[in-house]
Amino acid sequence: MIELRELTSDDWPLWRELRLAALAEAPYAFGSTLAAWQGEGDREERWRSRLEIPGALDLVALVDGEPAAMATGVPGDGSAELISMWVGPRARGRGVGALLIAEIERWAARQGLATLRLAVMPHNPHARALYERTGFTDTGEPGDLLPDGAGREIVMAKPLAGA
């Protein structure tokens, strides 16, 4: 069974657990690093602050009662951004990613936003395939510069129904 749960800042231990797992399991997929969120970076107020982005929707997917995936929608000027998307290995291939994306889309459309945007690492073909399957297309816009100083993230977007 797959259940989506909206988080508040009081859920920071759960968010911390998933975020650290994501950064450890898929470091190639994020602009942040595990090291940056450990040690001095591993503070309750930092985790709470991440879950207090004004107007954002933070979701966790529970698979058979266990935390297995996460995603966040952040409102912007006329569009929303999908960030911090990760599906753990045991939940992959079960439609969890598509469910998270669909819920973020519904949330963004309810906010009156016309577009859902995201950035994906160019060397993350599985994530890019998920985004393409769920209707995202490459905008052709240059994304953030990668740590290697040469490559850039791929910016993708999709129009939202009813917006």
- What is the count of structural domains for the chain? 1
| Least trusted range by pLDDT, from 68-72, 107-111, 125-129, 150-154 | 150-154
- Name which of 38-42, 60-64, 109-113 the model is least confident about: 38-42
pLDDT for 162 equals 65
Residue 31 belongs to domain spanning: 2-159
Identify the residue whose tokens are 């819920």.
103
| Alpha-carbon span 4 to 31, nearest angstrom | 25
Whole-prediction pTM value? Answer: 0.93
Q: What is the mean pLDDT of residues 101-118?
A: 96
pLDDT band at 163 (very low <50, low <70, confident <90, very high): low
Return the pLDDT at 138: 97
What's the confidence (pLDDT) of residue 60? 98
Mean pLDDT, range 43-58, rounded to an integer: 96
Q: Quick one: average pLDDT of 47-66?
A: 96
Alpha helices in the chain (DSSP H): 12-25, 44-50, 96-110, 125-133
What is the pLDDT at residue 149? 78
Q: What is the overall mean pLDDT for the chain?
A: 94
Give the C-alpha distances (Å, rounded to integers) separating 37 from 32, 85, 88, 109, 152: 8, 16, 18, 32, 23
What CATH number corresponds to the domain at position 87? 3.40.630.30
* Band of pLDDT at residue 41, cut at 50, 70 and 90: confident
Containing H/E element for 117?
strand 115-120
How would residue 148 be classed by pLDDT, with cut points 50, 70 and 90? confident
pLDDT band at residue 70 using 50, 70 and 90 as cut-offs: very high
Mean pLDDT along residues 12-38 = 93
